[in-house]
Structure 1
Amino acid sequence: MDEAPNRLIEAGTPDFRRTTLALFAAGFSTFAVLYGVQPLMPVFADAFQVSPAESSLALSLPCATLAIALLIVSPLSEVWGRKPVMAVSLFASAILTIAAVMMPSWHGFLLLRALTGIAASGLPAVAMAYLSEEMHGRAIGLSMGLLIGGNALGGMVGRLLAGIIADHASWRLGLGLIGVLALLAAVAFQFALPASRHFKAHPMRWREVPASFGHHFTDAGLPWLFAESFLLMGGFVCVYNYIGFRLLDPPFSLSQTAIGAIFVVYLAGTASSAITGEIASRLGRRKVLWLAILLGLAGILLTLSDNLIAIIAGIVVITISFFGAHSVASSWIGRRAMTDRAQASSIYLCLYYLGSSVLGTTGGWFFAHAGWPGVAGFFGGLYVLALLVAIRLSRLPPLPELIAAEIPRS
């Protein structure tokens, strides 16, 4: 009965398992491809003779091109369909990652990284729109959490593999292996994801695209959620961009393998995204979001210690905080946007990746001038702003048409 064409996908059904498996693999692939370079930034700085801030362009540049491309690719999914756009995105980003490791020059490598960001843009917002259309309200929190959990696992495995292999062989071999894994994930996605049941294609009228994006800014809550994504992701990426530089130097003097192993804490993000998404579905997003952000502020204080265990504990807490808050905010987008959900998701993710790009590189200035305390202070400022936004969101009245709904969306 659950497979009836007019039914939304319920948790625990075969279609739910197929969908979450496919999108978990897709999130894994996208984040491994994008963030596998993060522990390699000290290696890039040494190999290509560039500064820490310049080495961060290996991540910031694809995040910037991804953010901009989202605004174009997302409307195209309204014409071509959700699954085809996501599949092309996964295959193209995997192939470009494999090609990038063959580039001998820094500028050539950055060019292919920029193209990888454009290719990867077909997955994030479209996946959120797919889940919002196909999942029952009771399953949306868990399914979105599992999608983000795939992101977390992909980020962890990508960073871990790249760091370990760079230490024992070469960074090119490590990043090339990530590309191969991403290609396998794309194949799994193609075979596992059910076709859309509730998506209806319509001709693209490009003159109407600005209005389809613009009306989301008239909502009382969506612009605040968009701002939240920029602040949360920007602070989180700053921590991971520059913690490797700190731990490579005395008094820690860790190896590249040891620094890569620290990214195992991404497992905490995998768990927290699904758990927090489920809790938010039960208790309400406005009651959970600000608590998750407050946890991140506690985590950054721990990283100011000179004790390695305290620093790692702080990174764990920050990771739990970020993925929990992102799970809540991203699922909130899909429930609050009543029309043009792909566009709403793409705006959220555009700001999300711009935060990674702009704020992630800006953190390099703070690191260069004030060391780790500068990065921690920058993170703290961003997360205090995010906390104020979360408090503002908690005071929003529910959307009138949803007050009587079985599953609150606001």
Structure 2
Amino acid sequence: MAIVYVPQTIFPEFASDLEISEVAARDAFTASALSYALAFFAFGPLSDVYSARALASSGAVATALAGGLTALTTSFPMFVVAAAATGVCAASVPSAMLALAARAGNGRTGRSFGVILAATVAGITLGRGVGALLAGSVGWRWTYVVLASAILVAGLSSLALPRTTSRSQSVVRAYAAALTMIARPDVLRFLGVGGSLFFGYLGLTTVLTLRLSDPPLSLGPSAIGAINLSGLIALAGAPLAGALVPRLGAKKVSLLGLCLCLAGTVAVRLATDAVGATLGLLILYLGVFAAQPGLMVRLTQLVGVDQKGSASASYFLVCLLAGSFLGWLWQDHGWALVVVASAAAVVLTLVLASTTSDTRALRARGATR
């Protein structure tokens, strides 16, 4: 995740080096994030067929190679292609991990999702925060080298994951089953929950990063990176929420988290300086990633064991794509309307999540929290 999100805050550095405008440089993040999101549909069904360990380790090595090539680019078109390739390869790792978590069983699914989501947020935060700090110190090229090296080490370490066997279904059948699954009304409803949440949350945090770099605050990459480090709150929030799922129920945990999301959105809107923005982000991040384990447990309870990887990956795909739309609103209508749209999306998420019943899934599937 870090290497996918790092272009968002280091664009002034590579814009100057590659001799393009900062406005054009921001498009590199769109290419990186969009390719990452779309690749989830490719890797989701594969995670229902192949070993999670094999998919994660090979995907990490490919991501490290693509990231290393990004550091060597000498023109902006080459940079965009390399960043997009890095995003595609990077999606293989969380797809494998989500499939592994969805099949954890014995009351461990919520906690497993929480740990993975915390790692995801850590990656986003490292990309935006530590990546910006590195770029300010050693330059954007060495930033990519450092991140690629860390991913390579992680890929080799993933060989220590539990050994899982490949499933008997074919790849073609896995993709066909995934398409059938996402067309189901009950699954579509949960995909809508994730989409509306990330439209509000990820869109707001992305635009906030852009707003902090513009007047009147005009903060530099290092300052913006430091503010974005507040996302590390999810390192505690997501696993804790996941552990509460067996005790309180997935629905109650998810709704409590969504209430915090709404409070965080309001706090960001009321912020008038960097301190206020940081506090608002703390609350927002905590709420989002407290809600996510419960929401993902509820979704995976709706499907059979051979589709849990596809269900989890489809959820992430919808979330990440939906989170990219508020940037367009920012360009055309400004900050105030972005916050209104974000708050409305979180309210819609609360309504959808609270009016969706889990009874059918628990009775029909016999799934465990």
**TM-score > 0.5 by shorter chain:** yes
Contact 1:32–1:182 (Cα < 8 Å) also in 2? no
Deviations, residues 151-197 of structure 1 (Å, cap 9, x unaligned): 1222222322221122233222223211111111112222x21201x
Q: CA offset at residue 216 of structure 1?
A: 4.7
Instruction: Give the one of 344, 359, 365 matched to 1:381.
Output: 344
Q: 1:195 aligns to what?
A: 163
Contact 2:300–2:312 (Cα < 8 Å) also in 1? yes
> Does residue 174 of structure 1 match 2:137?
no
Aligned mates of 2:166, 2:130 — CA distance in 1 = 40
Report the residue type matching 1:113 in the other structure: A
Instruction: Give the one of 97, 112, 129 matched to 1:143.
Output: 112
Report the residue type matching 1:284 in the other structure: G
Q: 1:390 aligns to what?
A: 353
Contact 2:11–2:22 (Cα < 8 Å) also in 1? no
Contact 1:303–1:311 (Cα < 8 Å) also in 2? yes
Taking structure 1 as reference, are residues 206 and 261 closer, same or farther at Cα in structure 2, changes over 3 Å only?
same
Q: 2:251 aligns to what?
A: 286
Report the residue type matching 1:316 in the other structure: L
Instruction: Give the one of 70, 82, 95 matched to 2:40.
Output: 70
> Does residue 341 of structure 1 match 2:319?
no
Q: CA offset at residue 260 of structure 1?
A: 0.9
Contact 1:78–1:204 (Cα < 8 Å) also in 2? no
Report the residue type matching 2:52 in the other structure: R
Taking structure 1 as reference, are residues 41 and 330 closer, same or farther at Cα in structure 2, changes over 3 Å only?
farther
Report the residue type matching 1:399 in the other structure: A
Q: CA offset at residue 301 of structure 1?
A: 1.8
Report the residue type matching 1:145 in the other structure: G
- TM-score, structure 1 normalization: 0.81
Contact 2:6–2:128 (Cα < 8 Å) also in 1? yes
Taking structure 1 as reference, are residues 241 and 175 closer, same or farther at Cα in structure 2, changes over 3 Å only?
farther
Contact 1:129–1:342 (Cα < 8 Å) also in 2? yes
- TM-score, structure 2 normalization: 0.89
Q: CA offset at residue 51 of structure 1?
A: 5.9
> Does residue 162 of structure 1 match 2:124?
no
**Which residues of structure 2 form unaligned runs of 5+?**
none
For residues 201-280 of structure 1, what are the structure 2 equivalents within 5 Å?
201-204=167-170, 206=172, 209-218=175-184, 220=186, 222-280=187-245
Aligned mates of 1:250, 1:156 — CA distance in 2 = 23
**Which residues of structure 1 form unaligned runs of 5+?**
1-30
Report the residue type matching 2:163 in the other structure: A
Aligned mates of 2:242, 2:179 — CA distance in 1 = 26
Taking structure 1 as reference, are residues 326 and 60 closer, same or farther at Cα in structure 2, changes over 3 Å only?
farther
Report the residue type matching 1:181 in the other structure: A
Contact 2:45–2:175 (Cα < 8 Å) also in 1? yes
Contact 2:48–2:308 (Cα < 8 Å) also in 1? no
> Does residue 83 of structure 1 match 2:48?
no
Q: CA offset at residue 383 of structure 1?
A: 1.6
Report the residue type matching 1:202 in the other structure: S
Report the residue type matching 1:94 in the other structure: A
Aligned mates of 1:391, 1:32 — CA distance in 2 = 32
Report the residue type matching 1:326 in the other structure: Q
Instruction: Give the one of 71, 78, 83 matched to 1:101.
Output: 71
